[in-house]
Structure 1
Amino acid sequence: MQSLTQLEKWNFAEKDKEFTRNILDEWYSGSTLSSVLQQWEEQNNKYLPSEKVPLNILCYNVEGWGTRYLEVVDLVYKIDASISVLTEVGELWNKFTIPNFNTFHQQGTNRSGGVCVSVGKHLRATQIQLEIENTVIVDVFNLSDPIRIIGIYWPQGQGRNLDDLSPYITQETIITGDFNASLEEWNSTASDKRGKILKEWIEKNNLTYIPSSSHSSKRSKRNIDLTFSNIDGINAETMFFGTSDHWPIVAHL
Structure 2
Amino acid sequence: MKMSSSCIWCGSQSFSKSIEHVLPDALGCPPSFVLTDCVCRPCNNGLAGIDQALLKQFEIMTFVKGVRRKKGRPPSVEAWPSLRGRSTSGGPELFVNAGRGEMDAWGKTLRPSRASNGITETAFERNGEHATIKFTQTFGNDPKFVRALYKVAISSLAFHSGSELVCNPLFDAARQFVLNGSGRFEVLMFTRGEPTVHEFPPPRSYGDGACWLVSFKIFGIEFVADLDERQQALGKLTSALVMQANRGWTKLPLRNG
TM-score normalised to structure 1 length: 0.26
TM-score normalised to structure 2 length: 0.26
Larger relative contact order (CA 8 Å, sep ≥ 6):
1
Larger Rg: 1
